[in-house]
């Protein structure tokens, strides 16, 4: 049986994304992308905290 874990916070997600951006693009470009990274972290947090019901089909699927 799997143990229930709470989703990561927006700050934790943003930090993880920022570290990955630095690894991929370097410090300068990662800093330039910070606003986009924070926005993406917000969207990820919203999705994690409000998952779609299993019985509901994703939009665009019959």
- What is the predicted pLDDT for the residue at 5? 65
User: Look-up: residue for tokens 């917000």?
Assistant: 42
* Positive/negative CA dihedral, 38, 41, 22, 19: positive
Q: What is the pLDDT of residues 1-36, one digit of tens each?
A: 445 566 689 999 999 999 999 999 999 999 999 999
23-47 burial by CB neighbour count: b if 16+ within 10 A, else e? Answer: eeeeeeebeebeeebeeebeebbee
Which among 28, 27, 11 is positioned nearest to 19, based on CA atoms? 27
- What is the predicted pLDDT for the residue at 38? 97
3-state secondary structure of 41: helix
User: In this predicted model, which residue has the larger pLDDT, 57 or 3?
Assistant: 57
- What is the predicted pLDDT for the residue at 1? 43
> pTM for this one?
0.71
27-49: average pLDDT: 94
């Amino acid at each position: 049986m799997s143990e229930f874990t709470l989703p990561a916070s927006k700050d934790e997600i943003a930090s993880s994304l920022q570290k990955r951006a630095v690894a991929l693009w370097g410090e300068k470009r990662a800093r330039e992308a910070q606003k986009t990274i924070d926005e993406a972290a917000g969207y990820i947090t919203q999705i994690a905290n409000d998952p779609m019901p299993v019985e509901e089909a994703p939009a665009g699927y019959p």
